[in-house]
Amino acid sequence: MSTLVLTLITGVGLGALYFLVASGLSLIYGLMHVLNFAHGAFLTLSAFLGWVVAQALGTDSWWSFLASIAVGAIVGAAFATLTELVLIRPLYERHIEQVLVTVGLSFAAVALFEGIWGTDPITVSGPSWLKQTTDVLGARIPNTYWVLMIAAALVLLALVLFLQKTRYGMVIRAGVENRSMVTALGIDVRRSFTVVFAIGGAAAGIGGVLAMHYSTFVSAHLGSTLLIFAFIVTVVGGLGSLTGAAVASVLVAVLQQFANFYLGGTGDFIVVILLAVVLLVRPSGLLGRKA
Binding residues for other proteins (CB under 8 A):
26-27, 29-31, 33, 35, 87, 90-91, 93-97, 99-101, 103-112, 114-116, 159-160, 163-164, 172-173, 176-178, 224, 228, 231-232, 234-235, 239-244, 265, 268-269, 272, 275-276, 279-280, 283-284, 287-291
**What minimum distance in Å lies between the beta carbon of 65 and other proteins?**
29
- Contact (Cβ atoms closer than 8 angstroms) between residue 247 and residue 237: yes
**What minimum distance in Å lies between the beta carbon of 241 and other proteins?**
5
Using the minimum distance from each CB to other proteins, give the nearer residue, 58 or 115. Answer: 115
**What minimum distance in Å lies between the beta carbon of 164 and other proteins?**
6
Tell me the Ramachandran region of residue 195: left when phi exceeds 0, alpha when psi lies from -120 to 50, beta otherwise: alpha
Using the minimum distance from each CB to other proteins, give the nearer residue, 60 or 97. Answer: 97
Using the minimum distance from each CB to other proteins, give the nearer residue, 26 or 68. Answer: 26
Using the minimum distance from each CB to other proteins, give the nearer residue, 55 or 224. Answer: 224
**What minimum distance in Å lies between the beta carbon of 127 and other proteins?**
32
Kindly report the number of other CB atoms within 10 A of residue 25's CB atom: 26
**What minimum distance in Å lies between the beta carbon of 192 and other proteins?**
11
* Residue 242 neighbours by CB under 8 Å, 6+ apart: 23, 26, 27, 30, 156, 159, 160, 163
Using the minimum distance from each CB to other proteins, give the nearer residue, 7 or 102. Answer: 102
- Cα separations (Å) of 21 from 6, 94, 201, 202, 282? 23, 24, 9, 10, 23
Of the candidates 21, 15, 9, 11, the one whose C-alpha atom is nearest the C-alpha of residue 226 is 21
131 SS3 class: helix
85, with CB counted inside 10 A (0-12, 13-18, 19+), is middle
